[in-house]
Amino acid sequence: MFRSTPLLLALTGLLLGACTPKEPAQQTSIALSDGVLLPAYSGWAEADRQLAASALSFCAGNEDLQQARQIFLTAQNSWAALQPLLFGPLAEGNLAWQVQFWPDKKNLVARQVENLLQQKPQLTQADLEQASVVVKGLSAYEYLLFDNGLDLTDATQRQRYCPLLTAIGKHQQTLSAEILQQWQGDAGMAVHLKRFPNSRYADAKEAIGEILRAEVTALDVLKKKLGTPLGRQSKGVPQPLQAESWRSQSTLSNLAASLATAERLWLGVKQDGIRNLLDEDQAELAQRLDRAFGDSRGRLAALQRPFDELLADKAGRDQLNALYDSFDRLHRLHERELAKALDIQLGFNAHDGD
């Protein structure tokens, strides 16, 4: 008579486990980890690697200002694309402030950059690491390359500001590389989104909940990044210098990059995103969300003038207000209806009341 051995039983268990179909939440979590999250974090790290190399090249005279600006805009766009994915290692310890300081209501970036260089005219990397987050990130880098009061094509100014430019580039490269490393590997964040239970998530639904919370927060921030300069919080009086990236005139492209990632979470790369978790009887909600994303995307694409020009006249402000309302509808659909449909408690939003 055939007798089962412990080894045979163990192998049989492994085979059966491998053949067991994954539940929808786990399938979605895996798909988003592989198709959206890891590529976005990898792209951000690569863009920052290029940013650091660009700073060195520009300051050595091997790259012109226009090239340096374009590489900065690519890095900034990669950061904007990461906004709906800010959970896990990057969300801990307020690290995001080291990448971008916004809103800058009192022009702290310019003031602190100038104060730092006055105190440390021979600035070193160690000096920057000990300085305020205000001068460590993309906002300070943008100030150096784009502010109307500076001209880094001038040799004297380049000598003054280049040590800070290269130090910021190095800081961003190091930070993004360290975060990416925490996403990769056998114990990385990406694995926590695939195998359950683990030290972060009891099950796949809990992981999906955190992904959705990050997306809802990002959509809320998207509204604020448009509403603040538009004057939605200042009785309709435009505040153009409160716009994100106003110096480089890249406010709208940043919004588009963040929105595109949010939609990628919703749809997935192979129609395997959050949308796939809705049942057939929730098809009407799915269609409304599809239309809401399409409406916001279309309104953004239709803006053919620079952001400051749109703020300067009524017709432009009307377009921006319509875009804000579109963002608001998209945010509320996620926050109220999608979260309820998926039985996910969003909890406290750190940006509430801003």
Tens-place pLDDT, residues 327-345 = 999 999 999 999 999 999 9
**Domain co-membership, 296 together with 238:** yes
User: What confidence score (pLDDT) does residue 166 get?
Assistant: 98
Q: Which of 192, 221, 252 is the last residue of a domain?
A: 192
Range of the domain at 256: 204-341
pTM over the 0.75 mark: yes
Number of domains in the chain: 2
**Domain co-membership, 262 together with 314:** yes
Tens-place pLDDT, residues 73-114 = 999 999 999 999 999 999 988 899 999 999 999 999 999 999
User: Two tokens at 194?
Assistant: 């695939």
Question: Cα separation of 193 and 189, whole Å?
Answer: 7
Q: String of b and e for 170-189 (b: at least 16 CB within 10 Å)? A: bbbbebbbebbebbeeeebb
Q: Is residue 143 part of a domain?
A: yes
Q: Is residue 302 part of a domain?
A: yes
* Helix, coil or strand: residue 150: coil
Would you say 177 and 292 are in contact if contact means Cβ atoms under 8 Å apart? Answer: no
User: Two tokens at 345?
Assistant: 């408690």
Average pLDDT, the chain: 93
User: What confidence score (pLDDT) does residue 18 get?
Assistant: 43
User: What confidence score (pLDDT) does residue 93 get?
Assistant: 83
**Domain co-membership, 132 together with 231:** no
**Domain co-membership, 72 together with 188:** yes
**Domain co-membership, 128 together with 215:** no
The DSSP symbol for 22 reads P
Q: Which of 135, 157, 192 is the last residue of a domain?
A: 192
User: What confidence score (pLDDT) does residue 354 get?
Assistant: 41
Q: Please name the residue that has the structure tokens 């975060």.
A: 179
Of 350, 113, 130, 320, nearest to 223 by C-alpha is: 320
User: Two tokens at 341?
Assistant: 């449909």
Q: Which of 160, 192, 224 is the last residue of a domain?
A: 192
In sign, the C-alpha dihedral spanning 279, 284, 288, 290 is positive
How many alpha carbons fall within 13 Å on the CB side of residue 328?
10
Would you say 225 and 255 are in contact if contact means Cβ atoms under 8 Å apart? Answer: yes
Would you say 89 and 182 are in contact if contact means Cβ atoms under 8 Å apart? Answer: yes
**Domain co-membership, 291 together with 317:** yes
We report the CATH number of the domain holding residue 33 as 1.20.1420.20
The parts of the chain modelled with pLDDT lower than 70 are 1-21, 348-354
User: What confidence score (pLDDT) does residue 120 get?
Assistant: 97
Would you say 203 and 326 are in contact if contact means Cβ atoms under 8 Å apart? Answer: no
**Domain co-membership, 183 together with 101:** yes
Would you say 215 and 344 are in contact if contact means Cβ atoms under 8 Å apart? Answer: no
Q: Is residue 10 part of a domain?
A: no
Cα-Cα-Cα-Cα torsion 48, 53, 55, 58, nearest 10 degrees, comes to: -140
Tens-place pLDDT, residues 264-273 = 999 999 999 9
Would you say 90 and 84 are in contact if contact means Cβ atoms under 8 Å apart? Answer: no
**Domain co-membership, 144 together with 283:** no
User: What confidence score (pLDDT) does residue 352 get?
Assistant: 43
**Domain co-membership, 82 together with 152:** yes
